[in-house]
Amino acid sequence: MTIVTISVMARRRHPDPAKSGMVASSRKAATAAASSGAAVTVGTVASSGKAAIAGTAPSSGTASLARAASGSSARHRGGQAADGASDGRHRRSEATKAILVTAYLELLEQGILAPSVDHIAQRAGVSTRAVFRHFRDREGFLAEVADRQIARLATLAPSLPQGGTSRSQRVREFACRWAVIHETVAPVRRAALQQEACSPTLAKRLAWAHDLLMREAGAVFAPELATLAVAERELRQCMLAAVVSFGIWDQLRRYRGLERDRAEEAVVTALDALLA
C-alpha cells in the first residue's frame, strides 16, 4: 500500500522544557477524552463562557462553525459499532488520531511548518505504522487536522457582536474576535498557506474561512452597509473583511512587529475609517 507522507521535515527548534510538560499533559487529556467517548479538541483549553463561532461550515451554506464542530464530533463517533469490543477499538483509534493531530499541531507551533510522518509519530510517541493505519493518505490526515481546528476555535473565540449595540462597540468586538482567532491559528494557517496549492482539502478549508469572515463582516455591519447602493455595499463588505483578514493581521504582527494590542487597535482604526 502506497502512503503519501505529510511533507519533508523543516527546520527544528529546541522545545521549551516547560512547554514539554504541557505537551505531555495535553496528549494524556486527548487520550482520556477520546477513550471516554467525549468529543476531542486540540490545543489550549479556553476559559468558560466563550461562545461558539458563527458562520457556514464547509458542507453547508447555513450551519455555524459550532455546528461544524458538532458535525465533526459526530463523524468521529459515527463508525462505532453496537458491541463493546468494536466500540472499544473505535475509541482507541480516535484516541490515537487525537494524539497524532495534537503532535502535528505542536510541531507547527514550534515553527516546524512541514513535519514528516516520522517526526509526527516520534512526537506522538507512536510508530510510523500507526499513522498509516489510521489515515488513508495525506489528505485524510489534513482533513482530520482541519476538523479538530474547527472544534478548537468553536471553544476559544469570543462571541459575534450582536445587533442593537453601538457601531464603535461592534467594531471593537469584531476586531477582538478575529484577533483571538488569528493568534490561535497563526502557525497552522502559515503551514496551510504553504501547502494550499497541492492540497484540495486545505484549499477548500481556507476558502471556507475567507467566506466565513466575509459573511460575518456583512452581518455585524449590516446597519451601515444597508445605507449604501448595492455595488458600493458589496465593495465595502469586501474591504471590511480584508482589513480583518489573516493576511493583514500577519503583516501587522509578524512583519511590522506590532504587539497584539497595537495590531488590534490598527484594525479598529481601519474599520472605523471604512464605516465613517
Given this model, what pLDDT does residue 84 score? 61
Rounded CA separation 273/26 (Å)? 42
The three-point CA angle 4-128-93 to 5° equals: 95
Asked if pLDDT for residue 71 goes beyond 70, the answer is no
Rounded to 10°, the helix 167-195/138-156 angle is 160
pLDDT tens digits, one per residue of 9-40: 333 334 443 444 434 444 544 444 444 444 33
Given this model, what pLDDT does residue 59 score? 37
In a domain, 1, yes or no: no
pTM over 0.85? The answer is: no
Measured CA to CA in angstroms, residue 117 lies from 56, 230, 259 at distances of 31, 49, 34
- How many domains is the chain built from? 2
Confidence of residue 130 (pLDDT cuts 50, 70, 90): confident
State the residue range of the domain holding 80.
Answer: 17-156
Residue tagged 453496537 (cell numbers): 82
pLDDT tens digits, one per residue of 205-264: 999 999 999 999 999 999 999 999 999 999 999 999 999 999 999 999 999 999 999 999
Point out the domain boundary residue: 131, 156, 181: 156
Average pLDDT in the 161-175 region? Answer: 92
Same domain, 67 and 143: yes
Q: Using the 8-state DSSP alphabet, how is residue 163 labeled?
A: T
Given this model, what pLDDT does residue 83 score? 60
In a domain, 4, yes or no: no
Nearest Cα neighbor of 54 from 171, 142, 150 is 150
Same domain, 130 and 172: no
Point out the domain boundary residue: 156, 179, 195: 156
Mean pLDDT of the chain: 77
Average pLDDT in the 267-273 region? Answer: 98
Same domain, 185 and 205: yes
Cell of 177: 474576535
Nearest Cα neighbor of 148 from 94, 98, 87 is 98
Sequence-distant (6+) residues with CB within 8 A of 208 are 56, 57, 58
Average pLDDT in the 59-65 region? Answer: 40
